[in-house]
A and B are shown apart, each in its own frame.
Chain A
Amino acid sequence: MNSFWNGKRRYVALLMFLSGVFVALRVPPVIPFIQLPGEKFPEGYNIPFTDIRLTNTFVAAVIVWILLLLFVVYVSRRRPKDGNETPPGGFYNMFEALFEGLMGFIGGIAGGAHFRLIFNMFMTIFLVVLIANWMELVPGVDTIGFIHPHVKEKYDAATDEYKVVTTDGYEIYQGFLGFSYVNGQCDWISPADEAAADASAMTAAVAARSAAEEDALADAAYARYKAKHDGHGDDAPGDSSGDAHTEDDHATASVDTDATAAAYDEVLAGRTAEKQARRDRGCYTGVATSSWEAGYIEPDKSEKKLIPLHPDPSSDEAKLVPWVVLPFVRVASTDLNMTLTLGLISFVMIQYIGFKALGIGYLTKFFNFGTLFKSPLGGIDVAVGLLELIGDFAKILSFSFRLLGNIFAGSIVLFVMSFLVPILPWPFFILEFFVGVIQALVFGLLTAIFMNLATISHHHDDEHDHAEAH
């Protein structure tokens, strides 16, 4: 493997660079569309056996669990069963080195009686957050997904349900292959149906023209017959019928062509007016043709049009819907649900280990009335205890927002840089690589430190580190 690639890697790198240049020149960069809450999948994509709609961050979280499980299975299978085997190399070896390093690191911080529990907690949180954070570096994450109109859910008081509408108030119904959109006031008409309607209008107009011609011929014939009849007295109609027919054929040239053209135009004008009325109500027919053309739309004809994401409200374009990509997978740590859950788990574990180590006496850390009447400064102790209580709940917020803010801001940086410099956003990927590690480490480390602090008795250790800073 190695010898095969020797000396050829540079060509692979060159090829990648050239394809990057080609893609950057060929494909117009898509303006990043940024949304803080995890995006909901279109209707019909529920979490299996429930009514809850999938979100793309949830999909990412599931992928994280699966990867973590695979990782655990792999590592435990590769682990040498006794000390005499040749140690396995490769990825396992790297992980073992990392594991031992972190074990020593945590041992230096919390190497007491509860080391095992604290280290297990640290390592679990570290791996979950690390895998979740690094997913933003994988190509396709945050970029490949459904094409759909820029929508939000709006409460409709009349029917007491949430409707999916675009920012401009278009109601969304599910169509073939994802979404079609219609205005609330009109039905969705596909371009094919539109063309068919045009064709039938044309047929109707031609039919109207020939009908008008026939009418004109019949009128002319009748007028001629009437004139003949008036002129020649009370003849039987049968007598003159033959003459009338010959004169009909003769009279074809004298049919009023303006009148037939007017009939033709009238029918077509009806169709045009119908189309214009639909346009005036904001009903367009349109489809995005491919994922690269999100933002492009075919408005009625084959002409392509670039629709800005925030069009001028008075313009025609505002009636068209901005199309955005709803990624299949978005980094799990950019959703507050994920980070808040991790924060709550940390919080619960901190309290659990506190009770486990100190029993019911752990509560005196928060409700410290023991010195209230014994010492002149007892009131301060009570206040400090209450502050600690508040500070413990603030930890949840601080944990969850720290991770969310860092990773969300990081993915925005990646979007914007890929938009500004499509060829070389590599430095920012490297930056995000390190931010991912550091945030995972900080999350796990703070959990470990707080868990260690919770095991230390308040009374016997007065000089412990008041690191809470809250």
Chain B
Amino acid sequence: MDPQSTIILGKAIGAGLAMIGAAGGGIGIGLSVGGAVQAMGRNPDHTATIQTNMILGVAFAEAVAIYALVVSLIILFVLS
């Protein structure tokens, strides 16, 4: 196998593995939104507060997935 193909292969596998981290973010967002929707259903008066905290939590959970994304983007487009 020539070096060029090896590099591309390694990059693709590495980027794919890095994106496994996005699963955690997905689970986290699902749990927090699910909990928030339940809370809003039981307690509609506090929708504003719950929504704010939900967005905050979602942003944090998403940040972890975005770190994974950034790592895989760096592997794909910056490493040469």
- The residues of A with any CB-CB pair to B shorter than 8 Å are 34-37, 105, 108-109, 152, 167, 310, 312-313, 398, 401-402, 404-406, 408-409, 412, 441-442, 445-446, 449, 465, 467, 469
Contact = CB atoms under 8 A, between A and B. Distances in A.
B67 A401 contact: yes
16 contacts: A34-B76, A108-B48, A152-B80, A313-B4, A398-B60, A398-B63, A401-B63, A401-B66, A402-B63, A405-B73, A442-B55, A449-B52, A449-B56, A467-B57, A467-B60, A469-B60
B59 A446 contact: yes
A108 B66 contact: no
Report whether over half of chain A's contact residues are helix, strand or loop; otherwise say mixed.
helix
A310 B66 contact: no
Nearest to A314: B2
Interface string B1-17: 01010001000000000
B59 A36 contact: no
Interface in B35-80: 48-49, 52-53, 55-57, 59-60, 62-63, 66-67, 69-70, 73-74, 76-78, 80
A351 to B, nearest CB: 20
Contacts of B56: 445-446, 449, 467
Contact of B73 (A109, A312, A408, A465): A408
Contacts, number: 60
Interface residues of B, number: 24
A405 B69 contact: yes
B15 to A, nearest CB: 12
B77 A402 contact: no
A465 B52 CA distance: 12
Interface of B: 2, 4, 8, 48-49, 52-53, 55-57, 59-60, 62-63, 66-67, 69-70, 73-74, 76-78, 80
A105 B52 CA distance: 9
A409 B49 contact: no
Nearest to A408: B73
B74 A36 contact: yes
B1 to A, nearest CB: 13
Contacts of B60: 398, 467, 469
A127 B37 CA distance: 29
Given A34-B77, A445-B56, A401 B4 contact: no
A467 B53 contact: yes
A310 B4 CA distance: 9
A401 B4 CA distance: 30
Contact of A36 (B48, B52, B78): B78
A37 B70 CA distance: 12
A406 B73 CA distance: 11
Q: Which 8 A-B pairs have the closest CB atoms?
A: A405-B66, A469-B60, A36-B77, A442-B59, A405-B69, A405-B70, A398-B63, A402-B63
A35 B62 contact: no
B62 to A, nearest CB: 7
Contacts of B76: 34
Nearest to A405: B66
B63 A36 contact: no
Nearest to B52: A109
Given A445-B56, A445-B59, 12 more contacts: A36-B78, A108-B48, A167-B80, A312-B4, A402-B59, A402-B66, A405-B73, A409-B73, A442-B55, A449-B52, A467-B60, A469-B57
